[in-house]
Amino acid sequence: MNKNMRTSDNINSLIKLIRTLRSEAGCPWDKKQKAKDLGRYILEETYEVLDALDKKNHQSVKEELGDLLFQILFLTEIYEENKLFSLNDVIAEIKEKMIRRHPHVFGDKKVDSVQEVKINWQKIKEAERAGEKQDDLFAHVPRSLPALKRAQKITSIASAVGFDWPDTENVLKKMREELREFSAALKSGNRKKINEELGDIIFTAVNLSRFAGVDAETSLTQTTNKFLRRFSFIKKKLSAQGQSLDEVTLKEMDKIWNEAKEKER
């Protein structure tokens, strides 16, 4: 693509490509896509962007952002075909919202810290929704969010209206209680109860992460990635020794795992 083209021209060119794919002479797969179909692809592409960011791979970030942008434009085109709204409508609305939510930049509101910006942002959001007929306090928390992130959002909202533990020690006390209940469920062998009690442990862990100022989703992702790094180290070391995973004992693997752990310190 010509690097001298303006951004707006490039976007228009991409929209034209999408319209070609959706046309009678276009791609059978692209033509049959509905708005709901695009949702899972947008979610997948978002995770791929996050993965590229985590790996600090700038080329991958650029590529994955392109994939995500394509899906967003594709979804917008479907809505425009149905005469519901256009890309211009989307841009105009988000521009207006960002101006409204940044009165300290575009208005005369004074703020002295990032925390003040966050508090003011939340107040503006609440004012925007004041006119909505809404009985459910959690209605704006998407069901499609990953479970940990959804739990953290929901408990944050509950906390904002006063339904919360007074301090971290009380959350730890609750965690100990949930562990005892899970242990009892395991002994009972009741699968339904085991599932329920394990969910309670995870939910309490999410609350604990919130009290610690940690994002539960990010924390678990980092730990999972750490596990993958260390397990990869085990496999590579065994391979260098002419051995495979199924030829060694758990004790031997654990020893190499501890080596990997020491190397990361």
pLDDT tens, position by position, 95-118: 999 999 999 999 999 988 988 898
Q: What is the dihedral of CA 162, 163, 169, 170, to 10 degrees?
A: 140
Please state the CATH superfamily assignment of the domain spanning residues 7-85 in this structure: MazG-like (1.10.287.1080)
Instruction: Pick left, alpha or beta for residue 182 (phi over 0 → left; psi -120 to 50 → alpha; otherwise beta).
Output: alpha
Q: Using one digit for the tens of pLDDT, what is the confidence trace for 202-239?
A: 999 999 999 999 999 999 989 999 999 999 999 999 99
- As a whole number, mean pLDDT of residues 180-186 equals 97
- As a whole number, mean pLDDT of residues 54-73 equals 95
| Contacts by residues 258-263 (CB-CB < 8 Å, ≥ 24 positions apart) | 259/233, 260/229, 260/230, 260/233, 260/234, 261/230, 263/233
Please state the CATH superfamily assignment of the domain spanning residues 142-214 in this structure: MazG-like (1.10.287.1080)
CA 1 to CA 128: how far, in whole Å? Answer: 41
How much is the CA Rg of the chain, to the nearest whole Å?
25
Domain ranges of the chain: 7-85, 94-127, 142-214, 218-264
Predicted confidence (pLDDT) at residue 35 exceeds the cutoff of 60: yes
> How many beta carbons lie within 10 A of that of residue 223, not counting itself?
10
> How many beta carbons lie within 10 A of that of residue 201, not counting itself?
16
Look up residue 246 and give its two tokens.
Answer: 């199924």
What pLDDT shows up at residue 80? 96
CA 55 to CA 51: how far, in whole Å? Answer: 6
CA 201 to CA 220: how far, in whole Å? Answer: 14
Question: Which DSSP state fits 242?
Answer: T
Task: Look over the chain and give the mean of its residue pLDDT values, rounded to a whole number.
Answer: 92
What pLDDT shows up at residue 91? 96
124 neighbors 113 (Cβ within 8 angstroms): no
Greatest Cα pair distance, the chain, in angstroms, is 70
Q: What is the pTM of this model?
A: 0.66
Q: Residue 239: in which H helix or E strand, if any?
A: helix 216-240
Q: What is the dihedral of CA 47, 50, 52, 55, to 10 degrees?
A: -130
What pLDDT shows up at residue 4? 62
